[in-house]
Amino acid sequence: MGVSREQAAENRRAIVAAATRLFRERGVEAVGLSELMKNAGFTQGGFYNHFESKADLVAEVLASAIAEGIADFAKLARAPVDESTTALRRYINWYLSKAHRDNIDHGCPVTGFAGDAPRLGAGAQSHFAGGLDDLITILAGLIAESGSLAGAGRAQDATRTGNQLVLRNAGCAGPVTVCRAGCASAFERDSGERSPTRARVNR
C-alpha cells in the first residue's frame, strides 16, 4: 500500500525540520544523509523520494528558515511599544540578548547560516541573500521611525545604517562573514558602498 499524499507531505516536513535543526547546530557539510534521515525517523533510501539531492534539501531549508525568521522579525517590529523605549531599541536588545544568542534552532537565520552560505548552491544562496535584503528593509524602517538619524527621512541613510546594524548583529566574523556569504552585492546595491572585504582587497 502506497503512502498517501498527505503522509508524504508530512514526511517531507519532518525531513526539513530535522535538517534545519542539524544544519543550524553543526553546519551543512557536517551532516550526512544517513544521520539526517535517522534523525527524521526514516531510512536513507527514502531521501530520494522527496529530494533529488542534498542541495535541493538545503535550498528548501534556507527558504523555510528565512521565511520564518523574517516573519518573526516583522511581527516584532510591528508590535506596540511604550514610551520608555522605541521599536528599534527593543529589536536591538532582543537581538543581542542571551536568549536569542542561545536559541540556535530558531534564532536569526542570517546569522545561523552565514558560515555555510559561501559553500551552498545558487538556490540556497539566493534565499539567504533575499532574507538579508528583507532584514535590511525592516531595520531601515525601524531606524526611520525612531528618528535616530540626522536628517531623518533620507531612505538611503536609513538603509546604510541598517546595513551597519546587520553587519554588527551577524556576529562571529562581522562584515567579513556576511560578505563572504555571497551577499556583498546586497550592501553595494542598497548603500552604494563597496563591501568591507572587497574594499580591503582593492587597497
CA distance 47 to 44: 6
The pLDDT of residue 110 is: 85
Helix (H, G, I), strand (E, B) or coil at 180: helix
CA distance 186 to 174: 15
pLDDT in tens, 136-149: 888 888 888 876 54
- For residue 10, pLDDT over 80 is answered with yes
Of residues 195 and 32, more confidence is placed in: 32
Helix (H, G, I), strand (E, B) or coil at 158: helix
The pLDDT of residue 140 is: 85
Residues written for the chain? 203
Query: What's the rounded mean pLDDT across residues 146-169?
Result: 53
Name which of 46, 47, 106 is nearest 72 in CA terms.
106
The pLDDT of residue 127 is: 94
Q: What percent of the chain has pLDDT over 90?
A: 40
Query: What's the rounded mean pLDDT across residues 49-78?
Result: 94
pLDDT-derived band of residue 111, with 50, 70 and 90 as boundaries? confident
Query: What's the rounded mean pLDDT across residues 7-27?
Result: 94
CA distance 73 to 57: 24
Name which of 197, 32, 58 is nearest 119 in CA terms.
58
The pLDDT of residue 199 is: 38
Of residues 175 and 118, more confidence is placed in: 118
- For residue 203, pLDDT over 80 is answered with no
Helices (H), 3-121: 5-26, 33-40, 54-78, 87-95, 98-102, 109-114
CA distance 179 to 122: 15
The pLDDT of residue 31 is: 96
- For residue 36, pLDDT over 60 is answered with yes
Please provide the average confidence, as pLDDT, over all residues in the chain. 78
